[in-house]
Structure 1
Amino acid sequence: MKRSIAIPLLVLCAATAVAGEKGKAADTIHADKNKMEGKAPSDADLIASAMKAAPASVAKGATVVAMDGNGMRTLRKGSNGFSCMPDNPATPGPDPMCMDANAMAWIQAYMDHKDPAVGKVGFMYMLAGGTDASNTDPYATKPEAGNHWIKTGPHVMVVGADAAFYDTYPKSPDPDTSQPYVMWAGTKYQHLMAPVH
């Protein structure tokens, strides 16, 4: 995908996302309260959390999956090829995500510390934002000197593209997160981060 095609796609996704923002603040407060109180969310809570990741038109037809002690568990079967995951209760902020099949395979490779398929472009929504993360170390768990911890608000991601695609975007370890940039540049998990304003 050339940059001239990618930017209009990202703008379109951002416009769609803004339309689905109403009511998310109250839901986020409820989810954060459950985290603080240590309550295990119900399947209905997990599905509601997962659906915050993408525009309603995508989320309503998506499969919803969640991680548990036995691996990935399907909470709701979908029909549109997207899979949504709820917020991770172990992280400090909301971070549900929703992705197409290629992005789901990319995430699985990342979780398994394996090489993702090259050239299988995937698209991912994180419209509730993402928990703060290192921009240089894919497996960093907390801010440390030199690991370039960043704050990410609502965004979409393009994963699995050829290296040449990522070469057209900024790759600074300390990026301007209000603009599209490459996260984990130079690693096998580099991907485009595009904020949704």
Structure 2
Amino acid sequence: MKILRTGTNDFTCLPGDPKGVGSPPMCEDKVAMQWNRDFAEHKAKPTTNVPGVEYMLAGATQRSDSNPFDKTDPPIRIGPHWMILWPFDPKTTGLPTTHKPTGAYIMWAGTPWAHVHIMGAP
């Protein structure tokens, strides 16, 4: 993992890979870094026990709002957003599970990798 800049506020910024799907430039706290390491290692679920926070002000690409490990669907471009990495449940939160250009939705609902996207630049 290439670190763009280590922050002084527990956030670390990474340059990402503009040509890669699912590897955008981002800044993340220590918990989010562990969550992303677990995801990259294809663990059954995150090993974190508190929510992590990350943001992607340049937006990102992903393949699916429902399948965390989808490698075949065409890329979906999403705009700037924040993510709260915690297994949120749409039934208890009332949040939708489909991509929205603004507001919040739960990505990968029903999986251990579920988390909230808060769309829009802060």
TM-score (norm 1): 0.52
Q: Distance in 2 between matches of 1:84 and 1:160?
A: 20
Quote the residue 1:168 is aligned against: 93
Q: Distance in 1 between matches of 2:118 and 2:79?
A: 10
Residue 123 (1) aligns with residue 53 (2) = yes
Quote the residue 1:84 is aligned against: 13
- The structure that is helix-richer by fraction is 1
Match of 1:152 among 78, 83, 93: 78
- The structure that is strand-richer by fraction is 2
Quote the residue 2:111 is aligned against: 187
Percent identity, please.
34
Question: How many matched pairs?
Answer: 120
Structure 2: which amino acid aligns with 1:180?
A: A
Q: Distance in 2 between matches of 1:187 and 1:101?
A: 22
TM-score (norm 2): 0.79
Q: Distance in 2 between matches of 1:166 and 1:81?
A: 32
Which protein, 1 or 2, shows the higher relative CO under an 8 Å CA cutoff with sep ≥ 6?
2
Q: Can you give the 5+ residue segments of structure 2 that lack an aligned partner in the other structure?
A: none
Task: Calculate the aligned-residue CA RMSD, in Å.
Answer: 2.8
Q: Distance in 1 between matches of 2:66 and 2:117?
A: 13
> Contact 2:64–2:70 (CA<8 Å) still a contact in 1?
yes
In structure 2, do the counterparts of structure 1 residues 89 and 127 end up closer, same or farther at CA, with 3 Å as the change threshold? Answer: closer
Residue 139 (1) aligns with residue 69 (2) = yes
Residue 109 (1) aligns with residue 109 (2) = no
Deviation at 1:118, TM superposition (A): 5.2
Q: Distance in 2 between matches of 1:166 and 1:95?
A: 29
Deviation at 1:176, TM superposition (A): 2.8
In structure 2, do the counterparts of structure 1 residues 181 and 166 end up closer, same or farther at CA, with 3 Å as the change threshold? Answer: farther
Q: Distance in 1 between matches of 2:17 and 2:67?
A: 19
Task: Note the alpha carbon deviations across 1:121-166, whole angstroms, 9 max, x for none.
Answer: 111010100114310111123426xxxx6431000000025x4588
> Contact 2:63–2:71 (CA<8 Å) still a contact in 1?
yes
In structure 2, do the counterparts of structure 1 residues 168 and 93 end up closer, same or farther at CA, with 3 Å as the change threshold? Answer: closer
Larger Rg: 1
Deviation at 1:178, TM superposition (A): 2.3
